Amino acid sequence: MLTYDECLEMCDLTPEEIDAIAEHEHVDPMIAMALGHYLVTHEGENRIKSIILDDIEHARKCGNHERVILLRKTLLHFMATHPDPRITGAA
């Protein structure tokens, strides 16, 4: 059986990105990891960006400034490590 850390190494996402997906989708982190991996391997990066942006807005509305800062850093990292090939010309 694979551990959480072993799955994390294979999914091409950070723990913070997985936490954002889990929070948004109201699922266990292992399910969020599987969903996130599916999305990044099937051109779903924009969906993950949208999830993180929704989480930022929710944290902002709740007044959770520390969470907003963490999620903004998470979004910036995700965008840097998963550029949109339509914009960058990557394939």
pLDDT of residue 4: 87
Q: How far apart are CA 84 and CA 91, in angstroms?
A: 9
Does the pLDDT of residue 19 top 90, yes or no?
A: yes
pLDDT in tens, 61-80: 999 999 999 999 999 999 99
Cα torsion through 79, 85, 90, 91, rounded to 10: 130
- In this prediction the pTM is 0.87
Given a contact cutoff of 8 angstroms between Cβ atoms, the answer to whether 38 and 47 are in contact is no
Closest alpha carbon to 24 in 49, 55, 48: 55
